[in-house]
A and B are shown apart, each in its own frame.
Chain A
Amino acid sequence: MDSRLDKIYKQHGKYVYNVALGMLKNRDDAQDVTQNVFIKLFNSLDSFRGDSDIKTYLYRMAINSSIDYIRRQSTHRDKLEKMEPETSVSMVDSLSFYSLIDKLDDDHKAVLLLSEIGGFKYDEIADILQTKTGTVKSRASRAIVKLREILSKEAIK
């Protein structure tokens, strides 16, 4: 593997994988997204000017690919439900936290994951999600309030 890609993978691989895992709550899909993101990065590595561009690209790809996966799966799941109404997917225990996050909207989930797993500041998240910093801030506020509600409900159960 290219030494530059190797270095980037060592630095960001774990976080990109966990962001994808948080979005998808499925390890196989998160692995697919992670490897596709890095393979695509390798193909266009020469076109990047600096490390910050690469970082933005990596996480943007991870979020967008995950959202694509969710959309494809929901279409697929709709078809399956029409065919087999009793089919249900049970969650693995270690993914229980991600299944709680899954109750948030994709936009809110993305902001929290990028903020907490990626360690990004709001202006960087705005750059990744191609939106305004103010939007990121309000999404983060709503997401944390909602997540607190979800967690307190789970604690009561």
Chain B
Amino acid sequence: MKCNAIKENLYHIGKGTLSPFEETEILIHLKHCPSCAAEYDEVNRIKAVFRNTLEPVPGSVLQNIKSATGKKQGFSIPFLKPLPVAAFALSLLLILSLLKITSAPNNKEDELAAFIYDSYAQSAETYDNEIPSNIEYVTYAY
């Protein structure tokens, strides 16, 4: 490789695009060429500037991340999976509705409904009792 080609590739050393042979060739060239070696030093100086300008992350960033992710975690209970929870809720609802059907009325609306129903049943019985016993049922033949 000539100096121009070497200089073009100086920044790419160690970046995974040059073959081991190319890298070795460049490194050998640098040992014997002061101009390319100076260029290589310059490239390394720029790389070092990048590393030296690294700033620590302000603590507020982590705090904000923690508060944002913490809120979301608060709503979910990791050991409760959605499907078993839904099945449990459904069965609970079924049991409660069965209990409601079989249990005695316990509020005013239910009491009123029961009263009306009882009155109606009583009046129907009375009406049945009033039908004379000598009336025969007639069946029609079609």
Contact = CB atoms under 8 A, between A and B. Distances in A.
A31 B55 contact: no
A129 B63 CA distance: 29
A14 B56 contact: yes
B46 A13 contact: no
A57 B72 CA distance: 21
A34 B43 CA distance: 29
A121 B15 contact: yes
A122 B17 contact: yes
A112 B43 CA distance: 12
Contact of B54 (A34, A39, A117): A117
A123 B15 CA distance: 9
A69 interface: no
Q: Chain A: interface secondary structure?
A: helix
Contacts of A144: 11, 43, 46
Q: Chain B: interface secondary structure?
A: helix
A35 B15 contact: no
A151 B15 contact: no
Contact of B15 (A43, A98, A115): A115
Contacts of B33: none
B64 A17 contact: no
B100 interface: no
A25 to B, nearest CB: 11
A148 B57 CA distance: 28
Interface in B24-67: 42-43, 46-47, 49-51, 53-58, 60-62, 64-66
A1 B54 contact: no
Contacts of B85: none
A112 B46 CA distance: 10
Interface residues of A, number: 37
Interface in A130-147: 133, 137, 140-141, 144, 147
A13 B56 CA distance: 9
Nearest to A21: B55
A86 interface: no
B17 A133 contact: yes
A2 interface: yes
A136 B57 CA distance: 28
A48 interface: no
Contact of B69 (A31, A39, A112, A148): A39
B70 interface: yes
Interface of A: 1-2, 5, 9, 13-15, 17-18, 21, 27, 31, 34-35, 38-39, 42-43, 94, 97-98, 112-113, 115-117, 121-123, 133, 137, 140-141, 144, 147-148, 151
Interface of B: 8, 11-12, 15-17, 42-43, 46-47, 49-51, 53-58, 60-62, 64-66, 68-70, 72-73
